């Protein structure tokens, strides 16, 4: 058995980041949008990045092809077929509702399409809408208020998009409302941002998990806080290479994170853009970083522990 295919939870995947070039072509045809090329291979080859922002620009542009409930359904259905093949039993899936509602797509179409596909899959799925940093903290609080009438469709909130220049503390009020509503809380911090940003997020957001968190390692005090609180990091190795957060897989800090006693999980982030799904990330850690099958097995088990699911459900997945 390939340890990369062991039962696992995927805790850091953006549904818009699972939009494969083949579906881009299909959606463009559906909506009468003219693309520079309709060759999926050419579209795939153009998915090359120099940093987070260069990726986000392409990601938001492609996501504008998502317009109807059917589109969101088809996106999630395709991801879940691939995730099931990767051994995913549980997926906590990020989405960027603000990017869709600001284009006039109703929340009913976004949540309805994603939830319908999730309900039809053998994978256990919950949705985690994220606040878009580039739209600012007031928009985040307002967005959460518009999401709450759709509360049955999601279990938590996240924070994503452009990290540099958008520090976490300003999102405290949105996170406080999320906590008051009984929602789980996670945030992208320390991907391009610093260990000080991670400390600020821990101080002000009440987060239960940390997405990426790579730069935590730059400050021993921040590492100690994460270790002592058992705050899981959702790490995304192929993403980190594609966005140049790390120079090469061989230099990925995941072994150092384990060495420091941190709780770590392995995830794909935006698999249609970064060259692999979650099983590919596990494989990359084995082949390029030298993790043993025993270490991969421990990481897969840790992913269930770090999940927002109820403890009884976790036992059934392992």
Closest distance of CB 297 from ligand ES4, Å: 26
CA distance 121 to 160: 26
Closer to ligand ES4 by CB, 239 or 295: give it: 239
200 forms part of the interface with Zn ion (CB under 5 A): no
197 forms part of the interface with ligand ES4 (CB under 6 A): no
Binding segment (CB under 5 A) for Zn ion, from list 44-52, 114-122, 268-276, 280-288: 268-276
Residues 9-28 contacting ligand ES4, CB under 6 A: 14, 17
Phi, psi of 142 (to 5 degrees): -65, -40
- Count of Cβ atoms closer than 10 Å to residue 256 Cβ: 13
Binder of residue 17, out of Zn ion, ligand ES4, none (CB less than 5 to 8 A by kind): ligand ES4
Closest distance of CB 52 from ligand ES4, Å: 6
| 165 alpha carbon, distance to own chain's centre | 20
191 forms part of the interface with Zn ion (CB under 5 A): no
- CA dihedral for 241, 247, 251, 252, sign (positive or negative): negative
Please answer whether residues 124 and 89 qualify as being in contact, where contact means their C-beta atoms are separated by less than 8 angstroms: yes
CB contact set of 278 (below 8 Å; sequence gap of 6+) = 8, 10, 13, 83, 86, 87, 88, 266, 267, 268, 271
Binding-site residues from annotation = 12, 14, 188, 269-270
Triad 26, 29, 32: Cα angle to 5° = 150
Total residues at the site for ligand ES4 (CB under 6 A)? 11
Residues 252-271, mask of contacts with ligand ES4 (x by CB under 6 A) = -----------------xx-
Binder of residue 23, out of ligand ES4, Zn ion, none (CB less than 5 to 8 A by kind): none
- Give the burial class of 164: count Cβ atoms within 10 A of its Cβ; 0-12 exposed, 13-18 middle, 19 or more buried: middle
Q: Which of 209, 291, 220 is nearest to 261 (CA)?
A: 220
Helices (H) and strands (E) in the chain — how many of each?
16, 8
Closest distance of CB 192 from ligand ES4, Å: 8
CA distance 63 to 24: 9
Q: Does 181 participate in catalysis according to the annotation?
A: no
Closer to ligand ES4 by CB, 59 or 308: give it: 59
Three-class secondary structure of residue 64 per DSSP:
coil
Three-class secondary structure of residue 45 per DSSP:
helix
Closer to ligand ES4 by CB, 17 or 21: give it: 17
Residues 212-251 contacting ligand ES4, CB under 6 A: 239
Total residues at the site for Zn ion (CB under 5 A)? 1
CA distance 190 to 199: 10
Residues 175-194 contacting ligand ES4, CB under 6 A: 188, 191
Closer to ligand ES4 by CB, 273 or 317: give it: 273
Residue from 16, 191, 192, 200 carrying the catalytic annotation: 191
269 forms part of the interface with Zn ion (CB under 5 A): yes
CA distance 26 to 44: 14
> What would the two tokens of residue 168 be?
């976490």
Binder of residue 10, out of Zn ion, ligand ES4, none (CB less than 5 to 8 A by kind): none
- With CB atoms as reference, the residue minimizing the distance to Zn ion is 269
- With CB atoms as reference, the residue minimizing the distance to ligand ES4 is 160
Closest distance of CB 160 from Zn ion, Å: 6
CA distance 224 to 205: 18
- In the complex, the residues that contact Zn ion under the rule CB under 5 A are 269
Catalytic site residues?
A: 191
- In the complex, the residues that contact ligand ES4 under the rule CB under 6 A are 14, 17, 52, 59, 160-161, 188, 191, 239, 269-270
């Amino acid at each position: 058995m390939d340890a990369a295919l062991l039962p696992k939870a995927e805790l850091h995947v953006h549904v818009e980041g699972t939009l494969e070039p083949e579906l881009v072509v299909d959606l463009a045809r559906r909506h009468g949008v003219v693309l520079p090329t309709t060759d999926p291979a050419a579209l795939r080859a153009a998915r090359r990045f120099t940093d987070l922002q260069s990726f986000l620009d392409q990601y938001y542009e492609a996501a504008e092809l998502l317009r109807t409930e059917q589109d969101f359904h088809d996106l999630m259905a395709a991801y879940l077929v691939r995730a099931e093949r990767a051994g995913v039993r549980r997926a906590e899936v990020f989405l960027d509702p603000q990017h869709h509602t600001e284009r006039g797509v109703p929340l009913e179409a976004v949540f309805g399409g994603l939830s319908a596909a999730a309900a039809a899959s053998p994978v256990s799925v919950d949705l985690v809408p994220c606040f878009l940093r580039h739209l600012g903290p007031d928009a985040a609080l307002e967005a959460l208020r518009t999401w709450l009438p759709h509360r049955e469709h999601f279990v938590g909130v996240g924070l994503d998009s452009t990290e540099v220049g958008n520090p976490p503390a300003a999102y405290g009020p949105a996170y406080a409302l999320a906590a008051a509503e009984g929602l789980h809380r996670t945030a992208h911090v320390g991907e391009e941002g610093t260990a000080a940003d991670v400390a600020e997020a821990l101080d002000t957001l009440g987060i239960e998990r940390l997405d990426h968190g790579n730069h935590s390692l730059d400050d021993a005090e921040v590492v100690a806080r994460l270790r002592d609180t058992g705050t899981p990091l959702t790490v995304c190795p192929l993403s980190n290479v594609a966005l140049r957060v790390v120079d090469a897989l061989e230099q990925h800090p995941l072994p150092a994170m384990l060495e420091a006693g941190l709780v770590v999980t392995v995830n794909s982030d935006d698999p249609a853009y970064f060259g692999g799904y979650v099983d590919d990330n596990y494989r990359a850690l084995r082949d390029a970083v030298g993790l043993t099958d025993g270490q991969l097995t421990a990481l897969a088990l840790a992913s269930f522990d770090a999940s927002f699911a109820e403890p009884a459900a976790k036992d059934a997945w392992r």
